A = this chain, B = another copy of it.
Amino acid sequence: MIVSMKRGASREEIDHVCRRIEQFGYRVHSINGVERVVIGAVGRGDLTQAIEQLESAAGVETVVPISQPFKLVSREIQPARSVIRVNGCRIGGGDFTVIAGPCSVESEEQILATARAVQAAGGRILRGGAFKPRTSPYDFQGLEVEGLRLLRKAKECTGLAIITEVVSDSTLEMVAEYADIIQVGARNMQNYALLKAAGRLDKPVMLKRGFASTIKELLLSAEYIASTGNQRVILCERGIRTFETYTRNTLDLAAVPALKELTHLPVLVDPSHGTGRRSLIPAMARAAVACGADGLMVEVHPCPENAVSDGPQSLDLEGFARMMRELEPYIALWKQQREAEDASAADAACRQ
């Protein structure tokens, strides 16, 4: 942490800041510049607290942190990629994982038809919302428990694993009974009560990036889950809110290689929410594979035009199958690159 004093800060102000830094558990290392005094705080202490309080002290201009505030999810702490096994699929490891299904579970017929098509095309995990967070109170809010039961039925019929969204800490336990992976949606990325509850679970959690959250805030939310006790966290980039209105969100694909540098957790991409337009999904799915994502989450519906939600960004069953065929050569290149990386990492580990 570096504390930069204002030009003309008084000796008393500087001394006071130095004492405060020491109270937070750091050693002081001050630099007398031409224009101002800059004080380095060396060591480990209560970082966030210290930053906020020092910023409030008289004579201080800015306080700049040097260390990252996330620990458990950081690649600095654990360089090796986390691999999360679900239903035989190594998410974050050597398998490119495709999650697909409708926005909402609507009926037995709909979810079974979708599940069969997802499985036939090579998907491994079925998505489907039973509890739906909707912007308007007058929109369909999901089949709730009935939706969970239908997902279980689809699982029994196809062998696909199930992921579904949880929208409050009070319904988490029920959802966890049915799901193989719990999804925390974008709007709840900073619902800390929910994150902590998810951290006490013995199930993988997929955490979607909030549409106005930075990469670092996403990692801090993952840290909530991990620090409460659950290390099996999967991240998902799904687009951020910008001034562009042609697409529903702006899919931030650079977040994928950026996250892979910063964290050992797996990173998926959701091109459905990421674009909001069916016609753009296949191109962005290819791009996601090419930039190193660990998998995809895609919305698929037997008849998007009748979907109770998110139809415009859902592929139909044939469109999904076609996209999966087109992805094949890209996934083959992805596997080559993954193996090359693993070999070089093993090599590096050997040499140490």
Contact = CB atoms under 8 A, between A and B. Distances in A.
Interface of A: 2, 4, 7, 20, 29, 31-36, 38, 40, 42-44, 47-49, 52-53, 55-58, 64, 66-67, 69-70, 76, 133-141, 167-171, 187-188, 190-194, 196, 210-212, 214-217, 220, 223-224, 227-228, 240-247, 250-258, 261, 274-275, 277-280, 283-284, 286-292, 304-312, 314, 329-330, 333
Given A53-B311, A284-B257, A307-B53, A214 B246 contact: yes
For this chain, the copies found in one complex come to 4
B211 A212 contact: yes
A133 B67 CA distance: 22
10 contacts: A52-B311, A53-B306, A56-B278, A69-B136, A133-B192, A136-B220, A214-B243, A247-B254, A250-B252, A257-B284
A141 to B, nearest CB: 8
Nearest to A103: B52
B279 A254 contact: no
Nearest to A327: B290
Contact of A224 (B137, B217, B279): B137
Given A257-B284, A280-B258, A290 B292 contact: no
Given A29-B31, A250-B250, 4 more contacts: A34-B43, A135-B190, A243-B243, A257-B283
Contacts of A196: 137
A107 to B, nearest CB: 15
Q: Which of A274, A278, A280, A306 has the most CB of B within 10 A?
A: A280
Dominant secondary structure at the A interface: mixed
B283 A56 contact: no
A31 B42 contact: yes
Contact of A243 (B134, B193, B212, B310): B212
Nearest to A312: B55
Given A31-B29, A286-B290, A279 B304 contact: no
A22 to B, nearest CB: 15
B167 A170 contact: no
A36 B40 CA distance: 12
A188 B188 CA distance: 8
B38 A32 contact: no
A247 to B, nearest CB: 5
A167 B190 contact: no
Contacts of A311: 52-53, 55-56
Contacts of A308: 49
A14 to B, nearest CB: 15
Contacts of A306: 53
A43 to B, nearest CB: 6
Contacts of A305: 20, 53, 56-58
Contacts of A228: 137
A66 B52 contact: no
Q: Which of A31, A214, A223 has the most CB of B within 10 A?
A: A31
A254 B22 CA distance: 34
Nearest to A316: B56
Contacts of A220: 135-137
